[in-house]
A = this chain, B = another copy of it.
Amino acid sequence: MTDTKPAFDERLRQSASETEALLASVLSDAALPDEIARPAHLMAAMRHGSLNGGKRLRPFLLRESAVLLGGSSDAALRVGVALECLHCYSLIHDDLPAMDDDDLRRGQPTVHRAFDEATAILAGDSLLTYAFDIIAAPETTLADRLKTELVLALARAAGPGGMAGGQALDLAAEKSAPDEAGIVTLQAMKTGALLRFACEAGAIVAGSPPADRERLRLFGQKIGLAYQLADDLLDLTSDASTLGKAAGKDAARGKGTLVGLHGRDWAEKRLEVLTNEAIGLLAPYREKALILQEAARFIASRDN
Contact = CB atoms under 8 A, between A and B. Distances in A.
Contacts of A149: 136
A295 interface: no
A39 B133 contact: no
* Interface class of chain A by DSSP: helix
Interface in A129-179: 129-130, 132-133, 135-137, 143-145, 147-149, 151-162, 164-169, 171-172
Contact of A36 (B39, B99, B148, B189): B189
A193 interface: yes
A35 B162 contact: yes
B126 A159 contact: yes
Contact of A168 (B41, B147, B151, B193): B41
B189 A37 contact: yes
A98 B125 contact: no
Given A130-B159, A135-B151, 13 more contacts: A31-B161, A35-B162, A36-B165, A93-B121, A96-B121, A98-B121, A99-B118, A118-B168, A118-B171, A126-B159, A126-B165, A136-B149, A136-B155
Interface of A: 31-39, 41-43, 46, 89, 93, 96, 98-99, 116-119, 121-122, 124-126, 128-130, 132-133, 135-137, 143-145, 147-149, 151-162, 164-169, 171-172, 185, 188-189, 193
